[in-house]
Structure 1
Amino acid sequence: MMLTLLISGPKQPGNDIDVYLEPLIDDLKSLWDGIRGVYDAHNGEYFTLRAALMWTINDFPAYENLSGCVVKGYKACPICGDDTPSHRLKNGHKICYIGHREWLPINHPYRRQHAAFNGKPEYGIPPEPLTGEEVLHMVENGDRVCWKKK
């Protein structure tokens, strides 16, 4: 089964997207508790049927609203977090992320092109993504102010 929710137009919710998702969350909670007495014709027995939300597909601004992680500014990379390689442009006053050449393969020609980027070649390696246990530890202990507090 696939549930879709499209919210667009001039009256879209912005930061209050959770209002639209609340009925879906209530339904998912009741489905997780299970529907007892579902009959399996193949095995000839009754069981409890449960449902879970496997994933959501959304754009980056909606990712910020749903997860509470910062996706703009100096620490915009959800993988790098506090170590996001960002600098502010002198004349444009915008934030750029030139240090993300570290995600390219080691022998990629862009890593050696210093004149086209920040004047330095890139020899760094990308950071390791956090494991689920590390994220849980951060959320429980409040090590990183990333997720919304309700």
Structure 2
Amino acid sequence: MSQVNITKQHPDVYKQLAALSSAAEAAAAAAGLDGKLIELVKIRVSQLNGCAFCTRLHTREAVELGESTDRLAVLPAWWESQYFSPLEASALGLAEEVTRLSVPARTDWDNDALSEEQVSAVSWLALVMGAWNRVAIRSGYRVAP
């Protein structure tokens, strides 16, 4: 029994993660982060973690918010493009650093575009998204066309 849907086995824990996720999103919005940027962070973390379910889910949500297909297409190599503002580039770099847990910590994302509140909010978004990715992968959420 290599794969068990952990969300069904312990629904109360799932609900707690959902509450934490909502709190992280509210903190990001309160810190002045745009909804599209919040989704970009979630997508990028999901890409890094190899979670097809969450990548598709948040890509669809980003499109609903008006995100362009060009920006979504270059997101895996965002640093090579000119599509992202300094604030967005900083948030994406920070999300990658939090997701990969670079030791020593990478700071190339730190261009002073993010306030301390925004650094905290993006960090929480990346941490929570990583947890969701692990839930989806561990539970065997499959993605079909």
Q: Normalised by the size of structure 2, how large is the TM-score?
A: 0.25
Name the larger-Rg structure: 1
Q: Which has the higher helix share?
A: 2
Q: Normalised by the size of structure 1, how large is the TM-score?
A: 0.25
Greater relative CO (CA pairs within 8 A, separation 6+)? 2
